[in-house]
Structure 1
Amino acid sequence: MSFFGSTIQNLEKSLDFATVKNNTIAQNIANADTTNYKSKNVVFKDVLKNELEDTFETKRTDPRHLSFSNLDRSQSFRITQNNSTMYNHNGNNVDIDKEMTDLAKNQIYYQALVDRINGKFSSLQSVLRGGN
């Protein structure tokens, strides 16, 4: 059993996710006018992995299919590329309005995580000081 429980570890993983998502959104925005650039997104792998864990067999019939047996267990998210759409005549599929909305949501999410982890550390600090 961990002294801190799993809360701080979960918050840390969530902060990692929010950071990668922010970087991915920033990359999409920076490449909004780049010819043939395809937008990227950060998704959780754990959700699907947990649902399919040891109960679902997959067979790859094409190299582009996902391999469920080789999932990286150390990281709960991955970056995907959207190749199925094209919004601009130059082959680019970045929707700047969507990206700006996602960026604002992610910033709020990140700040909430920071506030939560600060609260956890404040509680620990209070306990260490004897409740003062």
Structure 2
Amino acid sequence: MQISPARELMAKALNYRALRQNLISANIANVDTPHYRSRDISFEKSLAAERARLEQGGHTLKLAVTDGRHLHGLSEGNSTKAEIFFRDGHMARNDANSVDLDVETTEMAKNLTMYNALVAALKKNGAIFRSVIDASAKV
């Protein structure tokens, strides 16, 4: 039973964030490996495709436009899975290793912040349903 499409989407986002954390950890672990290229994951398109899949069936939330001067929503891509790519551009070392420790630690901190925000949102979502169930049990 699906409680909420948002809950399923947040769970998928947590999985992508965990995969990104593993990739960043692997990059840091290979900071001294010759010819190692740092990797990252692009999952924004994947989450948009997952959201579109969850919204199918007439339950799409439309962007309200009450004035002709409002901006219109963006169309999403059709990608269905996360894309792992090489994060190049930091080839300053003689051993052809592209890992920049400053970039990796910054990306890890950003990823951890987003992961914690998703966990907090899931907890809040669960607390709302728990309070409704508790209130209905008292009636």
Whether these two folds match at TM > 0.5 is yes
- 1:78 matched to which residue of 2? 83
Q: Secondary structure at the match of 1:117?
A: helix
Give the counterpart letter for 1:128 in structure 2. I
Shift of 1:108: 0.7
1:38-57 paired onto structure 2 within 5 Å = 38-44=37-43, 46=45, 51=76, 53=78
Establish whether residue 129 from structure 1 lines up as the match of residue 128 from structure 2.
no
Structure 1 SS opposite 2:3 = coil
Seen in structure 2, the aligned counterparts of structure 1 residues 109 and 125 have a Cα distance that, compared at 3 Å, is: same
1:95 to 100, 107, 111: 100
CA spacing shift, 1:9–1:52, aligned 2, 3 Å: closer
What is the match of residue 111 of structure 2? 106
TM-score with structure 2 length normalisation? 0.69
Structure 1 position 79, deviation (Å): 1.1
Separation (CA, whole Å) in 2 of partners of 1:23 and 1:105: 14
CA distance in 2, matches of 1:84, 1:98: 11
* CA-CA distance at 1:84 after TM superposition: 5.7
Percent identity of equivalent pairs: 28
Q: Which amino acid aligns with 2:4?
A: G
* TM-score between the two structures when normalised by the length of structure 1: 0.73
The C-alpha deviation readout for 1:102-121, integer Å capped at 9, x for no partner, is 00111111000000000001
> Post-superposition, which runs of at least 4 consecutive aligned residues in structure 1 deviate over 4 A?
47-53
How far, CA to CA, are the matches of 1:13 and 1:7 in structure 2? 10
Check conservation: 2:37, 2:97, Cα contact below 8 A: yes
CA-CA distance at 1:6 after TM superposition: 1.0
Gaps of 5+ in 2: 50-74
Pairwise CA distance, 1:85: 4.8
Q: Distance in 1 between matches of 2:96 and 2:40?
A: 17
Structure 1 unaligned blocks of 5 or more: 54-70
3-state secondary structure, aligned to 2:36: coil
